[in-house]
Amino acid sequence: MEDLVFVGDWIKDRLLGSGSFGTVVLWRHKSNEQKLAIKVCKWGDELTAKHRERWTKEVEMLQSCNHPNIVGTKELPPEFKTELARANPSKLPILCMEFCSGGDLRQVLNKPDSCGGLKEVQVRKILKDLGSAMKFLHSYKITHRDLKPENVVLCVGPGEQNANNVTYKIIDLGYAKEIDSNSICASFVGTLQYLAPELFYSKTYSNSVDFWSFGLIAFEIICGTRPFLPNKAPVEWMPVVKKKSHDDICVYETFHNDICHSKEIFPENHISKPFKALIEEWLKVALEYDPKLRGRDAPSKVTFAIPPEGKTTTSSNIIIFNLLEKILSKKIIKVFCVTTLSHIAYEIDDSTNILALKSWITKDTNIATDDQAIISQMTYIDISDEELVIKYWTETSNVMLFVYNKKQIIDDNSAPVVPKAVQRCLELHKGLYNFKNSQTLYRNAFYFVISQMDIYDALINGIFTRAESLKQDSKQLLVKHNSTDKNLGKLLAKVEIVTKMTDLGKNHIESLKENSVGTNFLGGFGKTFKDADDIVEKTQKLQTAWSQLTVRLQSAARRSNEGISNELNSFVAKYNYQGMFTNAYKIFTSHRKSDFYNENREKEKQCPEIVKLCYDCLKLRSKVLQELLHQPFVLKLKDLSTELSKITDIISKAADNSDRLSNDLSALIDEFNNCIWSTISVVVRDADNVADLPYSVVSFQKRDFKIGESVTNHCTPVANALKDDSIKSLIAESLVLRQNHGDLCDKLDTQKKLLQQSIFDFSFLSE
């Protein structure tokens, strides 16, 4: 098929792959740009009847597998049946498949920036797609037997390639892998590391061989390297791995060539802590060495022995796919703490609220819940404690929420998380490294640069988000201010009415006093007037403070609306990790191409370029933080955050005081009205005993006065001499008045004490 370039309207684009048994060529239609991947068996007479039967069955099997995560087959255009006849000496069926333009997973893992594993969003998508495809195959009793990154292709949808529009599909369902022993060995070249151990030492095996391969792929896409002594051949690592326990998911060599077992994946990865814990439990199931237990629930064991009579055995169930689906269904909220420059994450459910999230963040960052501001890029609003976290969860975002300390933007004492290999090279910068140790160092150093670059990007986005949130905060404060201002206006209107009422009352009483009329019964109104004066005085203080607050809020709102985009962009243009990343990329690529990497693996050498890279990365981080802390826009954000926080407290206190004064004023008006109407009641009726009246300013009583007549005509003459009975009656009434006066004084003292206990918080006035 090499000499064929044109087939009808189809143009040969390029060779996609050539294995020991067949070749795959990409063909493109010249009119509609349709693309097809066509696979042809390249052998002819060498094939036996068994070979032909196997090829045909494999092709038919793939054509019958209709699943979104298994590469689909297409009908071969008629023109190819004729033109490819001479390029198909075996005359076996030609396989026509859909073309996946994203390459294969091995190409993704071979990228230098994948040396520390892939991002969690991508890891989740790969595991979801592969798990779905493998579950489908196993449900139809199909075992792939050669699952590896090279056999996972990326089908990219329209638009830019990202985790959202990439579908991962399995290809090569084991074509002719069991033709004969020579073919088996040939087809396994370069892929032995992904084969389950029983394929080497046992003549029989089950579909659990796919579980092992799936587990290895999962570990590699998370960490960028395989879990079991990746620098050794299977004959070397299998005896060691055979001794591992069920919980061990990683076996590696230390710097000094010691063999270590681990129950955790390598710390140099890009996945969240909760997802890491979940996937480690799954890997224990997938990477179980015993094929009879692999992929099944533990500690149940599979046994093929007939149980004794009267006894039953506990059978185990395959759980690997359902367990993975359960893990991938978990919702994990990813938060970036701007203050501590750290990525943190937590598993949530539909009922988790922001207050619970804050309590978790406090444990990891030591930032008190009251000092935390949690903000989403979707709304730029400081989220309230009662809101549900699920509202801000997205499946494809690496940072879903930002958390800030209201008292400081960035903690300049936050230390970076440095891989052990990087720490060692910085401490022993002239140390010698063999191939294995140098490989670990280069991989971890590049990972360190990438992780610092991710933190820097999140930090810049976090600062921008904070600036936008302060704009929203100022707008919300203006709304609260206007609402409180309206209430304060209503309070002032009430005060004006009461002031007029009390002034009129005071003037009337002063007139009575000047004429020495009714001066013995003025105590009740005096207390009311005093309470009114206190409320008016407090309201005036509140109004003065409110005017000052309005000026402060307007100034803060103006500064928050100025924005920091230009200053932030200028800073990013001056300080960024792009040059550092480019340098790390070159150093890592150069190392892969060196003789030390490919030939002289037994020698030891120094690695000065990678030591310098790690040192420069730490130096850049320190410089960025120092420069950022003194940038005017960061200082402005800090001042605005503090100012708006104070204004928020003042508005809340002012609103509370306004409501309290309004309630007190309403009560005072009711009391004042009660005094007035009580006095009017006395005026319009004959009182048997003045002492029975609650309040009174009556100097004399009018009885049946006629208009136009003299008042003296209706006066009753009073004799100069009083009878003994009249004197006794006056004395008794005097005693009653004195007793009532004493009771009234006691009541006034009690009310005075109660009023003194009422606290009005005006501490903000001194700010």
Active site residues: 146
Cis before 416 (ω within 30): no
Amino acid at 612: K
CA dihedral sign of residues 633, 636, 641, 642: positive
Alpha-carbon distance 289 to 215, whole Å?
11
Please answer whether residues 197 and 241 qualify as being in contact, where contact means their C-beta atoms are separated by less than 8 angstroms: yes
Give 148: exposed, middle or buried? Use CB within 10 Å, 0-12, 13-18, 19+. buried
For 187-194, the CB contacts below 8 A with 24+ separation are 187/19, 187/20, 187/21, 187/146, 188/146, 191/146, 191/148, 191/150, 192/233, 192/234, 193/226, 193/230, 193/234, 194/146, 194/147, 194/148
Q: Which helix (DSSP H) or strand (DSSP E) does residue 587 occupy? A: helix 578-593
Please answer whether residues 331 and 274 qualify as being in contact, where contact means their C-beta atoms are separated by less than 8 angstroms: no
Alpha carbon separation from 363 to 113, 341, 401, 648 (Å, rounded): 32, 15, 17, 27
> In the numeric block, which tokens belong to residue 207?
């579909």
Give 294: exposed, middle or buried? Use CB within 10 Å, 0-12, 13-18, 19+. buried
Give 197: exposed, middle or buried? Use CB within 10 Å, 0-12, 13-18, 19+. buried
Please answer whether residues 642 and 407 qualify as being in contact, where contact means their C-beta atoms are separated by less than 8 angstroms: yes
> 459 CB contacts (<8 Å, ≥6 apart)?
336, 338, 341, 410, 628
CA dihedral sign of residues 105, 107, 110, 115: negative
Alpha-carbon distance 152 to 620, whole Å?
38
Alpha-carbon distance 5 to 10, whole Å?
8
Nearest-10 Cα torsion for 312, 314, 316, 317: 80
Exposure of 233 in the CB half-sphere (CA atoms within 13 A): 4
Please answer whether residues 81 and 47 qualify as being in contact, where contact means their C-beta atoms are separated by less than 8 angstroms: no
> In the numeric block, which tokens belong to residue 658?
């306004």
DSSP codes joined into one string, 405-424: ETTBS--TTPPP---HHHHH
Alpha-carbon distance 200 to 289, whole Å?
13
| SS3 of the chain: helix, strand, coil, percent, to 5 | 55, 10, 35
* Number of helices and strands in the chain (H, E): 20, 13
